[in-house]
Amino acid sequence: MSNKSVIIKVKRLRDVPLPKEAHEGDSGVDLCADGTEVVIPPLGRALIPTGLSFEIPVGYEIQVRPRSGLAIKKGLTVLNTPGTIDAGYRGEVCVILFNASDKHVTISPGDRIAQAVLAKVERIEWQEADELEESERGKGGFGSTGE
């Protein structure tokens, strides 16, 4: 079974590495920090530039997700996970990192800070209705099935 690639144009805004898979078959590619060293205090957040901008085809988005190693080892996560890079956005890709630990965390240029995953986006056509079909769940939400 072949897995056809989607072409994403990428522009280096500065001398930074292109995103790449750490291992063949990985779902995401690593995004690296660019710019100057940043220290994120405990429970603090920072906007980290990547030095890259993308041209994403209509019908797709790139989702920015945390790296599991940073999460478990340093308590770092992507604050608005998954972050969305829309097809029409052409500015620099930046990552909002949140430090959930009790220690200061230093981000240096070249550090792998997040993963980028290409995702297909389905278009929505809204159809207004006076009634909705009943379902087993109904209006139950926010813990309605237990703890």
Task: Work out the burial of residue 125: count CB atoms within 10 Å of its CB; fewer than 13 is exposed, 13-18 middle, 19 or more buried.
Answer: exposed
Looking at residue 98, what is its pLDDT? 98
User: In one letter, which amino acid is 98?
Assistant: F
Looking at residue 53, what is its pLDDT? 98
pTM: 0.85
94/80 Cα distance (integer angstroms): 12
CA 117 centroid distance within chain: 7
Q: Tell me which H or E stretch contains 68.
A: helix 68-74
User: In one letter, which amino acid is 94?
Assistant: C
Which band of pLDDT confidence, cut at 50, 70 and 90, is reported for residue 116? very high
The DSSP 8-state label assigned to residue 72 in this structure reads H
pLDDT tens for 2-55 read 568 899 999 999 999 999 888 888 899 999 999 899 999 999 999 999 999 999
Looking at residue 35, what is its pLDDT? 87
Looking at residue 2, what is its pLDDT? 56
Which of these, 76, 20, 99, 22, lies nearest to 52 by C-alpha position?
20
49/90 Cα distance (integer angstroms): 14
Looking at residue 50, what is its pLDDT? 97
Cβ(105)–Cβ(76) below 8 Å: yes
When mean pLDDT is compared across 76-80, 113-117, 137-141, the lowest value belongs to: 137-141
Compute the radius of gyration of the chain from its Cα atoms. 19
66/1 Cα distance (integer angstroms): 29
**Structural domains of the chain in order of their starting residue, each with its CATH number:** 9-120 (2.70.40.10)
Looking at residue 146, what is its pLDDT? 66
109/36 Cα distance (integer angstroms): 6
pLDDT tens for 83-107 read 999 999 999 999 999 999 999 999 9
Looking at residue 139, what is its pLDDT? 78
- Would you call 52 helix, strand, or coil by DSSP? strand
Looking at residue 13, what is its pLDDT? 97
